[in-house]
Amino acid sequence: MQIHSFDIAGPLVVEPQQLGDERGYFAEIFREDRFFAKAGPVHFVQENQSLSAKVGTIRGLHYQTNPMAQGKLVRCLAGSIFDVAVDIRHDSPTYGQWIGVELTPRTLNQLWVPPGFAHGFCTLQPDTVVTYKVTNYYSPDHDKGLLWNDPQIGIAWPDVADANTLSGKDRVQPRLADLPPCFSVKD
């Protein structure tokens, strides 16, 4: 298993090694020791799964505020996604910057989105299934979002991204300029 970082501190890509033969393959999807060495100690308490039927479905950008902030380890089980994390730590030198990575079941890669980042994705194939482990329970009172296409952030969404697939909640999320400071690099 290899773990790679980005120019933005925090998010990581986990790339399991596949050992294959004529029967298929075997892969270690998660190893606590290697993950903790790069991400620090985390404790996963809940696992979520979503199905998006249509190509271009946009989900996000979502996050939870303290004390219920969540780190997410995201994986695509069927189809594929363009997965995004946006730095919303108000005192970060990379505040408002984003990273994006394609997640597929073929590569088995995963994206670690730590607390202090908004997360979202766009499906690239029909019937896409996404699962993610989180470090805190879902809390409606702490559930927040960021406008998916805020020009100040400038996410380069895939051409298939379809604003018609947004939930009612995601259509009216605030822009980065309107977010109160809720995360710090010191958290």
Instruction: Tell me the C-alpha to C-alpha distance, in Å, between residue 45 and each of 10, 55, 75, 83, 156.
Output: 20, 30, 16, 22, 32
Q: Where are the beta strands (DSSP E) in 6-161?
A: 12-15, 18-21, 24-27, 46-52, 58-64, 72-78, 81-87, 98-103, 110-113, 117-123, 128-134, 143-145
* Of 63, 95, 119, 132, catalytic: 132
Which DSSP letter does residue 177 get? G
Mark whether 62 is an active-site residue. yes
Neighbours of 123 (CB within 10 A): 29
Helices (H) and strands (E) in the chain, counts: 2, 13
Mark whether 63 is an active-site residue. no
3-state secondary structure of 164: helix
* Of 4, 25, 62, 90, catalytic: 62
Catalytic residues: 62, 132
